């Protein structure tokens, strides 16, 4: 029996430049951090060697991996020839809320399967295989940032090269500045869920590309500022980036999101953005300590979710070899 723990992520800047149709032309980059909200996947040998029991928001009991309804479970288990297992997936945060849940799940599942089979596990390997699963085999119109954020953990500048290679560089910020930065971030759940690929499929060409090129330049600027421990730059860059991202597609924002964001600014937030592809989910805000109470009151209709930065990425947090097979 084993359990993997894989973190959700918060993307500060550059989202949308990690889509293959963009970075293969221009190159892309994002700056993001993993947080202390996780997906847990527990895997153990089943009493029945010819059955697979998978439990997530649904329960499936099937005789072969090809019969699993959940497409990611089905693809990964079929590829590795998995049978005779009992697998359970639990998450701290609902799927489809802008924190990279699908890719976090995929990274955690690949980690669990490879560990279960006694195979080598590396952060680069987990991220690359999760991308291959979601983008190449399952044809999801999504990007690569979430898989790398979940696998590596920590605060990273991630560059997506035209030749499909990916470079992950930790952001060199002091421990004190990082703690203060974390303290100035607030997150509110605006409600609803959505599939990221439904929104990302509306990102295409023209002004969308121009905005994403500008977002990449902004992301590089943010990296430079944070590595000078200039954490206040994040608030201004979040605001500038959000205004650019809204121009990529009309599906990214809504009246509810725009009103909530303006309320936060009026209450003293420096800047913020909707997390994920857009449409709904969590809003991230950069707020000074003195303004936190006012922002909290202005957004009292929405649920606040405190969080801390994660540094570990996808890890195996429990093993019991007596119950592996």
What domains sit in the chain, N to C, each tagged with a CATH number?
2-171+310-323 (3.30.230.10), 175-304 (3.30.70.890)
Task: Share the mean pLDDT of the chain.
Answer: 93
Closest C-alpha to 118, from 195, 43, 10: 43
Answer for the pair 14, 29: CB distance below 8 angstroms, yes or no: yes
Q: Is the pLDDT of residue 23 over 60?
A: yes
For 255-308, the pLDDT digits (tens) are 999 999 999 999 999 999 999 756 679 999 999 999 999 999 999 999 999 999
Q: What is the mean pLDDT of residues 149-162?
A: 98
The pLDDT, as a whole number, for residue 277 is 59
The pLDDT, as a whole number, for residue 279 is 66
- Residue 283 burial by CB count (10 A; 0-12/13-18/19+): exposed, middle or buried? buried
Q: Is the pLDDT of residue 147 over 90?
A: yes
The percent of residues in the chain predicted with pLDDT above 70, rounded, is 93
For 176-232, the pLDDT digits (tens) are 999 999 999 999 999 876 554 544 444 444 468 899 999 999 999 999 999 999 999
The whole-model pTM stands at 0.93
For 78-90, the pLDDT digits (tens) are 999 999 999 999 9
The percent of residues in the chain predicted with pLDDT above 90, rounded, is 84
For 213-222, the pLDDT digits (tens) are 999 999 999 9
Answer for the pair 145, 33: CB distance below 8 angstroms, yes or no: no
The pLDDT, as a whole number, for residue 201 is 47
CB proximity list for 280: less than 8 A, separation 6 or greater: 97, 98, 190, 191, 192, 193, 194, 254, 256, 257, 274
User: pLDDT: is 199 or 156 the higher one?
Assistant: 156
The pLDDT, as a whole number, for residue 289 is 95
Q: Is the pLDDT of residue 314 over 70?
A: yes
Q: Which string of b and e fits 222-255 if b means at least 16 CB within 10 Å?
A: bbebbeeeebebbbebbbbbbebbbbbbebbbbe
The pLDDT, as a whole number, for residue 214 is 95
User: pLDDT: is 135 or 207 the higher one?
Assistant: 135
Which pair of structure tokens corresponds to residue 294? 């006012």
The pLDDT, as a whole number, for residue 249 is 72
């Amino acid at each position: 029996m084993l359990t993997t723990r894989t973190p959700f992520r918060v993307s500060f800047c550059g989202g949308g430049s990690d889509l293959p149709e963009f970075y293969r032309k221009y190159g892309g980059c994002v700056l993001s951090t993993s947080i202390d909200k996780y997906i847990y996947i527990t895997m153990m040998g089943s009493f029945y060697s010819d059955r697979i029991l998978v439990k997530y928001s649904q329960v499936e009991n099937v005789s072969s991996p090809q019969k699993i309804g959940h497409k990611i479970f089905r693809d990964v288990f079929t590829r590795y020839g998995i049978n005779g297992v009992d697998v359970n997936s639990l998450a701290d945060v609902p799927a489809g809320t802008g924190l990279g849940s699908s890719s976090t799940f995929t990274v955690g599942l690949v980690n669990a399967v490879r560990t279960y089979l006694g195979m080598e596990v590396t952060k680069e390997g987990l991220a690359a295989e999760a991308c291959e699963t979601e983008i190449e085999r399952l044809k999801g119109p999504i990007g690569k940032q979430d898989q790398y954020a979940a696998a590596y953990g920590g605060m990273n500048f991630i560059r997506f090269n035209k030749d499909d290679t990916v470079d992950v560089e930790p952001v060199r910020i002091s421990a004190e500045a990082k703690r203060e930065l974390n303290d100035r971030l607030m997150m509110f759940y605006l409600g609803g869920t959505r599939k990221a690929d439904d929104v990302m499929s509306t990102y295409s060409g023209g002004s969308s590309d121009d905005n994403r090129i500008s977002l990449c330049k902004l992301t590089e600027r943010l990296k430079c500022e944070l590595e000078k421990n200039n954490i206040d730059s994040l608030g201004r860059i979040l605001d500038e980036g959000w205004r650019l991202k809204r121009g990529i597609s009309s599906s990214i924002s809504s009246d509810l999101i725009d009103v909530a964001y303006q309320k936060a600014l009026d209450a003293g937030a420096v800047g913020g953005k909707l997390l994920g592809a857009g449409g709904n989910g969590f809003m991230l805000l950069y707020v000074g300590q003195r303004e936190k109470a006012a922002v909290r009151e202005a957004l009292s209709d929405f649920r606040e979710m405190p969080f801390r930065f994660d540094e570990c990425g996808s890890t195996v947090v429990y093993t019991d070899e007596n119950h592996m097979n």
